[in-house]
Amino acid sequence: MLNIVLFGPPGAGKGTQAEFLIETFGLNHLSTGDLLRSEIAAGTQLGIEAQNYMEKGELVPDSVVIGMIKNKLALSNNTKGFIFDGFPRTVEQAKVLDNLLNENKTPISGMLNLEVEKQELICRLLSRGKISGRTDDQSQSIIENRINVYNEKTFPLIQYYSQQNKYYGINGMGVITEIAERLKEVVEKIDN
């Protein structure tokens, strides 16, 4: 089974590249944001619990998110693998995810990190903000803060996956198709 953790700062193109990888390798997209929304919409016990936290403006605890991921994995017996998007965000979450996947003998195959220069990220996000209307993509200071927070939070994960020889930095600069080709080459090496 091919299990990929897809990383990259805001504006790196994770959504676009996740779609490409899903289509190319037949993987399931496991986005924690999507999981939370679907569990809430379905009125599951975990969804109700998550909604209670979200309504108070609190972060949904790892135990709830892990429960949702565990349910999703259990329902996906005949999959070729997963792209984990938005999870893990901390080393503790990565360890829990490793334990969960190792129970099923389907460990993480690799962490792909789209590396994009800060100024390019700012330009991409400001451009996206004009089109999408997202307020968090319209202020350069907010964008810079998001990038800084991402870098601070992600660095320990890069170390974590590097120690397992599962970290792959991917040049995220250039044309979408070129970036997709770089990702494809790395995933094909991981999958062999």
Q: For residue 3, give the H/E element and its range.
A: strand 2-7
Q: What is the CA radius of gyration of the chain?
A: 17
**How many other C-beta atoms can be found within 10 angstroms of the C-beta atom of residue 101?**
19
Cα separation of 111 and 15, whole Å?
Answer: 15
Q: 3-state DSSP: the chain helix, strand, coil percent, rounded to 5?
A: 60, 15, 25
The residues near 47 (Cβ < 8 Å, ≥ 6 apart) are: 36, 38, 39, 40, 41
pLDDT by position in tens, the chain (length 192) = 999 999 999 899 998 999 999 999 999 999 887 888 888 899 999 899 988 888 887 778 888 888 888 888 888 778 899 999 878 988 999 999 999 999 888 999 999 999 999 999 999 999 989 998 877 788 899 899 889 888 888 889 999 999 999 999 999 999 999 999 999 999 999 987
Nearest to 109 by CA among 166, 50, 178, 25: 166
